[in-house]
Chain A
């Protein structure tokens, strides 16, 4: 048998490595098959499905109240907003008007969720780029928000606080004080975030001009959330299709034109400040009233198709329910922001160094259980 001589000098050949499924910078079980030429990324191919639980299929055997606890486990950092999305869809189908109090509380809770999600983004993004200090500072402040959740909802991350028609229980009497305390505290320390990371020259060198998406590309790929808005795509659902109490508050939609890693990061930093402004406008005006609308114990949606989208911390989450009139949905489909935001990773990372792939992946702020569902 003739043995082929091994070729010497592989400079021009592609080298394929697996990043993940167990890799700290993928924040979960995402497997990226990266084709390299030297240190330059030629191709990135995400392989999904390592944490697929079949949530959409499981929903078909559950009642509408029971679906809520599954949506917590999709994008666990915006658990509250996911719950709200399903509740809003069911309420839209039943044509129920929830009490004003519920709308206000839901909005405040959603914004708190957004703040804690971006805090964790900041913490882990700094860690991805080699600044371990950020992780401790980010988690320190996030703990305060989680305490607010724990006091009112009973859970820290997996809150299950919304239910079709209202809330599981009323806010804790201490809630308003605690939120105000947190806002005062966080306004005092958010400058540390900028001092530690935003102004750092090493961080700026690594993030500016990296993984650029133009506005046209962002629209074509359907990028939403801070990722899309950093490219100049005005896609804030809270602004364009207001739900809950968002039509009663004034806030700025954060838009940038550059669309690189640094501006995706900046968009999230600014959003934290905007979220605090939104909470400021609502926290003193929570109207009195019941914390849930009158609902039947068994919810049956009329036959038809219903859709509602909300703005999670990562982008647009759409909930599409097809009902055949039974107590269980016939089909549920979640349009998750992470799945869509992951898609153009190949486009962004092509031609950059492998270390920059970590920065680009981190700037998308991916939550893998939301991609696989």
Chain B
């Protein structure tokens, strides 16, 4: 007799547990307000990333095409895997002194691990992270970028 009760109890509990689980999923079926899906490629215009999001390293330029990079190479030293190459050159200033400036600030996006050490350690805040996250390209060479724009100069007042 006892085993018969146990048997039916088992069936009852089994069906009950299944119904409890199904009530959760069924509940969301009739609550369309809780939908979380983002229509990603279609919502590109309204999609806002967080301001600190580490997309890729960029060198901000102002409207006069000036940047803050002095070419000291601290970012290159701090990069753990050699994603940054600073190629310096010298320039003769108005006073006739030789001064070190950057020729090319090369950034290998394909190698970058987004640790953020270059941006953090830069003494003149010349580097920043952009919120760009669509990095896919068809040619690997496109992942090597020159961060300083052609013809750009060092911002005045940055040493």
Please choose the segment from B50-58, B62-70, B139-147 that sits at the chain A interface, where 4 or more of its residues have CB less than 8 A away: B50-58
Chain B neighbourhood of A169, CB < 8 A: 52, 120
- Tell me, rounded to whole Å, the shortest Cβ–Cβ distance linking A63 to chain B: 8
- Rounded to whole angstroms, the CA-CA distance of A151 and B50 in the bound complex is 6
In the complex with contacts A154-B53, A169-B52, A196-B24 CB distance below 8 A: yes
The answer on a CB contact under 8 Å between A196 and B21 is yes
Chain B neighbourhood of A168, CB < 8 A: 116, 120
The answer on a CB contact under 8 Å between A154 and B80 is no
In the complex with contacts A66-B78, A160-B115, A201-B13, A154-B54 CB distance below 8 A: yes
A interface size (C-beta, 8 A): 31
- Rounded to whole angstroms, the CA-CA distance of A150 and B52 in the bound complex is 7
Q: Does A69 sit at the interface, judged by CB under 8 A?
A: yes
- Tell me, rounded to whole Å, the shortest Cβ–Cβ distance linking A157 to chain B: 11
Q: Does A54 sit at the interface, judged by CB under 8 A?
A: no
The answer on a CB contact under 8 Å between A200 and B21 is yes
Which residue from B24, B113, B116 sits with its C-beta under 8 Å from A154?
B116
B interface size (C-beta, 8 A): 25
The answer on a CB contact under 8 Å between A66 and B116 is no
The answer on a CB contact under 8 Å between A160 and B21 is no
Q: Does A192 sit at the interface, judged by CB under 8 A?
A: yes
Interface flags for B102-113 (1: CB within 8 Å of A; 0: not) read 000000000001
- Chain A contacts with B in 267-300, Cβ cutoff 8 A: 297
- Rounded to whole angstroms, the CA-CA distance of A152 and B129 in the bound complex is 14
- Rounded to whole angstroms, the CA-CA distance of A199 and B52 in the bound complex is 41
In the complex with contacts A151-B52, A154-B52, A172-B52, A195-B20 CB distance below 8 A: yes
- Rounded to whole angstroms, the CA-CA distance of A99 and B129 in the bound complex is 27
Task: Name B21's closest neighbour in chain A (CB-CB).
Answer: A196
Interface flags for A156-172 (1: CB within 8 Å of B; 0: not) read 00101001000011001
The answer on a CB contact under 8 Å between A69 and B52 is no
Q: Does B36 sit at the interface, judged by CB under 8 A?
A: yes
Task: Name B11's closest neighbour in chain A (CB-CB).
Answer: A201
- Rounded to whole angstroms, the CA-CA distance of A87 and B153 in the bound complex is 39
- Rounded to whole angstroms, the CA-CA distance of A195 and B23 in the bound complex is 9
The answer on a CB contact under 8 Å between B54 and A66 is no
Chain A neighbourhood of B113, CB < 8 A: 69, 158
- Rounded to whole angstroms, the CA-CA distance of A140 and B52 in the bound complex is 22
Which residue from B17, B23, B24, B116 sits with its C-beta under 8 Å from A160?
B116
The residues of A with any CB-CB pair to B shorter than 8 Å are 62, 65-66, 68-70, 133, 140, 143, 147, 150-155, 158, 160, 163, 168-169, 172, 192, 195-197, 199-202, 297
The 5 closest A-B pairs by CB, nearest first: A69-B115, A66-B80, A154-B54, A201-B14, A154-B52
13 contacts between A and B (CB under 8 A): A62-B80, A66-B115, A69-B113, A152-B52, A154-B50, A154-B114, A155-B114, A160-B114, A160-B116, A168-B116, A195-B24, A196-B21, A202-B14
The residues of B with any CB-CB pair to A shorter than 8 Å are 10, 13-14, 17-18, 20-21, 23-25, 36, 50, 52-54, 78, 80, 113-117, 120-121, 129
- List 4 other contacts, CB 8 Å, given A66-B78, A160-B115, A196-B21: A147-B50, A168-B116, A169-B52, A200-B17
